[in-house]
């Protein structure tokens, strides 16, 4: 959790080993959840959370950091591109009766 003045501003969830949702890299680190509350966006806090994930990946000797992002989330896609992630695949899932697509993005940590 990331707190600002005692209030939760956002959080991220990191997955390793068998907890990862896709077979991307056996030595990978997945960012499964990455959220900032709307009132805390555009303050550099997302960068702090992302840098924390990168630090953990290096600390745990992971070779790649990866995540999925909804194909229509332009703000998130732009943010991840600015952090050096590139698209390598996609994952289709069903939400109710609607087929949705997540783009899978990754970045080498070596």
Residue partners of 43: CB distance under 8 A and separation at least 6: none
Q: What is the DSSP string of 49-66?
A: HHHHHHHHHHHTT-SEEE
What domains can you pick out in the chain, each with its CATH number?
2-108 (3.40.630.30)
On the question of pLDDT at 10 being above 90, the answer is yes
Token couple for 47:
């960068």
Between CA 88 and CA 10, with CA 82 as vertex, the angle to 5 degrees is 95
pLDDT at 17 over 90: no
What is the tens place of the pLDDT at every residue in 27-71? 999 999 999 999 999 999 999 999 999 999 999 999 999 999 999
Q: Please give the pLDDT value at position 110.
A: 80
Residue 18, pLDDT score = 85
Nearest-angstrom CA–CA distance, 92 and 18: 20
pLDDT of residue 26: 87
Report residue 25's pLDDT band, with 50, 70 and 90 as the boundaries. confident
**pTM of the full predicted structure?**
0.88
With a cut of 90, say whether residue 81 has pLDDT above it. Answer: yes
> Token digits for 18?
């068998």
Residue 95: predicted pLDDT: 84
């Amino acid at each position: 959790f990331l707190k600002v003045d005692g209030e939760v501003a956002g959080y991220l969830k990191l997955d390793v080993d068998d907890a990862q949702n896709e077979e991307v890299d056996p030595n990978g680190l997945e960012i499964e959840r990455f959220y900032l509350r709307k009132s805390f966006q555009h303050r550099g806090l997302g960068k702090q959370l992302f840098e924390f994930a990168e630090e953990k990946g290096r600390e745990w000797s992971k070779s790649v950091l990866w995540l999925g992002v909804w194909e229509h989330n332009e703000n998130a896609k732009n943010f991840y591109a600015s952090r050096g992630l590139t698209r390598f695949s996609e994952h289709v899932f069903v939400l109710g009766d609607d087929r949705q697509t997540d783009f899978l993005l990754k970045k080498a940590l070596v």
